[in-house]
Amino acid sequence: MELTSELKTFFTEAASELKGYARRFFQAQVIKLLGKGGQRRAEEELGWNRGTIRKGMHELESGIRCEDAFSARGRKPAEEHLANLLEDIKEIMDAQSQTDPTFKTTRLYARVSAKAVREQLIKQKGYSDEELPSEETIRVKINQLGYRLRSVQKSRPKKKIPETDAIFEQLDKLDKEAEQDETILRLSMDAKATVLIGHLSRGGKTRVTVKALDHDFKPDEKLTPFGILLPQYDELYLYMIKSRLTSDCIVDCLHDFWLTVRERFPQVKSLLINQDNGPENHSRRTQFMNRITEFVDEFQMAVQLAYFPPLSQ
C-alpha cells in the first residue's frame, strides 16, 4: 500500500482524534494494511511511536484489551496546567532576591516565604486561589528555579541608645543613696535558665562514676534558679522554682526572703530592688504590681523598683 500525502494527512488526523485503546486499534489496522515493514514506515512517515504500535498489534491479534492505568502515572507538574507559572514566580522572586554575599555559589537568596509568593501571584498576576497549587508546591518550584528561601530577619533592637546612659546614671545615684542610708536596703533579683535534674550527660567531669541517660527527654525535675542578692553584704539567697516563673512566684520568693532577714534589719523602712525588665516583673504587669502592693501593705514599708535598661545584662 502506497502512502500518499492525502493518506498520510488522513491517518495522522484520524489518530489524533482518538485516545487510548481506540487510537492503538486504529493504528494497528493501518499497519496491517501497510503490510510487511508497516511499523517502520508508520514510525518514519506518520510519526507514530513504535512501542504504541506494537501494543496495538498485540491487542488486535490477541483480542485482549490493555487497560490504561492513567491514575498510576502520577500528576503532571503545575506548569503543565499553568503555562506562565514559573515565569511569574521568577519575576516575583527577582524583585526580592540577592546573590550569595560570599560569591561561593550561584544561588539567589530571598527573604520571602512561599506563602507570600503565592499571595503575590494572586494579587499581581491575577491567579485565583483555586487554580494555584499549595504553598509546598510553590516552595518546591522556587527551589527548582535556583532560589533559596530565608526567614525574614527581624529588626534587632539596639543594645545602647542615648537614654541608656541616663538610666545607668539614675541607677548609680539610687544605689549610692541606698548605701549611705541605713533605712534603705538594696537588693537585686534575677532568674536564670531552667536546669534539667537527673542522670544527664553535661559534658563535664566528676570524681565519681555517673551513669548518664542517652536522652534528656524525661528528667527527674526541672528547676529554675531564682536569686536575691544583697550587694552590700555579698550574700545570695537562692530559690529553686519547680513551676513556671510568674509574677506571683517572684513576689512569693521576696516575701519568704524578707521573713528570713527582717530581724537583722530592724532599721530598714524601704527596699530598693534592682531587676531586669522581664515580662513577669515589669512595672506594667498588673499582677506583679498588685502583689508588690500587698507586700508593702503587709510589712508597712516602701518598695522602690529600679530597672536595668533592656539588653544591658
Domains observed in the chain: 5-71 (no CATH), 78-149 (no CATH), 162-307 (3.30.420)
How many Cα neighbours within 13 Å face the side chain of 223?
Answer: 10
Going through 11-107 in order, the beta strands assigned E by DSSP cover 97-99
Question: Is 191 within 8 Å of 245 (Cβ atoms)?
Answer: yes
* Residue-wise pLDDT tens digits, 69-113: 767 777 788 888 888 999 999 888 887 776 666 666 666 667 778
Closest CA to 189 of 130, 277, 283, 264: 277
Contacts (Cβ under 8 Å, ≥6 apart) of 46:
3, 8, 11, 12, 15, 30
Q: How far apart are CA 274 and CA 105, in angstroms?
A: 50
Closest CA to 243 of 252, 233, 234: 252
* Residue-wise pLDDT tens digits, 207-239: 566 666 655 567 778 899 999 999 999 999 999
Q: How far apart are CA 268 and CA 276, in angstroms?
A: 23
Q: How far apart are CA 171 and CA 1, in angstroms?
A: 106
* Residue-wise pLDDT tens digits, 163-210: 788 888 888 999 999 999 999 999 999 998 888 877 766 555 555 666
